[in-house]
Amino acid sequence: KPFLVLADRLARRGVATLRYDDRGVAASSGDFSTATTRDFADDAAAALAFLKTQSDVDPARCSVAGHSEGGIVAALVGAGMAPGYPKAAPAFVISIAGTGVDGGEVLKEQMKRIMLAAGIGEAAMAAVLENQAKLLDSVRLEEFDETQVMAAIRGLQEAQFELNGFSPEEEAIRQLERQAFQQMTSPWMLEFIRFDPSRAFERIKVPILAINGTLDVQVWHEQNLPAIEAAVKAGGGEVEIAEFEGLNHLLQPTTTGSVEEYAIIDITMDEAPMEKIAEFILRVPAAVKR
């Protein structure tokens, strides 16, 4: 539970946190399966509004931080783009291993980095990446062609089967194709692929901290941190960027960044990013009433 560890570290520095389950998870109401990132932004903004009503916290210091997709959520709240809460007004925004480019580009780089971490050479992965790009491009359109999407899915699966030396039965292939189509055309995935978080970051007028590890294969730092920085500066905002050498997507010390390592690394979250987050929170002034 990395965020429990982070919350404990912040509490020891006098910073209260409110952590909550995703909608439809545990005691939270709502339907997770139909929710999109904008829905999650509404949930975060509602949590922020609730936090501001608590007598033991300073409402002018209440803010939002998010990890991975949560970084987009935090940016939407900070930009006033949470659909139901356009005046959420956090004091600052923290993006932890969050994205700065559209999800289609994130997924392309993610696929490449995961395969590199697994020891697959660039020549060997070329067909997979080419077919993945065709699939992602096929669902970027508002009115996508189902036949074209299915053909792209089939091409990607064939490239993956060839790379892995795997030949499943025909019925299993058809089932995998149907599952992939449902996943790639779900409301959440379509919004993730199409939405560019820079649109939110450039509208944020409160201080921003964006951090990531240099071995994060899911959200590549060289792709996303510069994009966040450029968007914020284009909008005249204030951003602090921090890269942490040798840390993965969960901010653990790692040798390859491989997803398979997450559960076997003893350290839940490295000290350095936790200290950076705490230092930033304690340094940033309270929000100016708008």
Report pLDDT digits (tens) over 47-71.
Answer: 999 999 999 999 999 999 999 999 9
Average pLDDT over residues 77-83: 95
Asked if the model's pLDDT at residue 37 lies above 90, the reply is yes
Q: Collect all residues with Cβ–Cβ distance below 8 Å to 26 and sequence separation of at least 6.
A: none
Tokens matching residue 138 = 């096929």
Ordered by where they begin, the domains of the chain are 2-101+195-283 (3.40.50.1820), 104-193 (no CATH)
Average pLDDT over residues 143-170: 91
Asked if the model's pLDDT at residue 289 lies above 60, the reply is no
Asked if the model's pLDDT at residue 235 lies above 60, the reply is yes
Note the helical H segments in 52-169. 69-78, 103-117, 122-138, 146-164
> How far is 225 from 198, CA to CA, in rounded Å?
11
pTM of model > 0.75: yes
Does residue 166 or residue 240 have the better pLDDT? Answer: 240
* pLDDT computed for residue 287 by the predictor: 59
Asked if the model's pLDDT at residue 171 lies above 60, the reply is yes
Cβ atoms of 152 and 120 closer than 8 Å? no
* pLDDT computed for residue 143 by the predictor: 87
Q: Please report, rounded to a whole number, the percentage of residues in the chain having pLDDT higher than 70.
A: 98
> How far is 237 from 218, CA to CA, in rounded Å?
26
Average pLDDT over residues 169-192: 94
* pLDDT computed for residue 288 by the predictor: 52
Q: What is the pLDDT of residues 17-28, one digit of tens each?
A: 999 888 888 888
Asked if the model's pLDDT at residue 290 lies above 50, the reply is no
Q: Collect all residues with Cβ–Cβ distance below 8 Å to 6 and sequence separation of at least 6.
A: 17, 269, 274, 277
* pLDDT computed for residue 111 by the predictor: 97
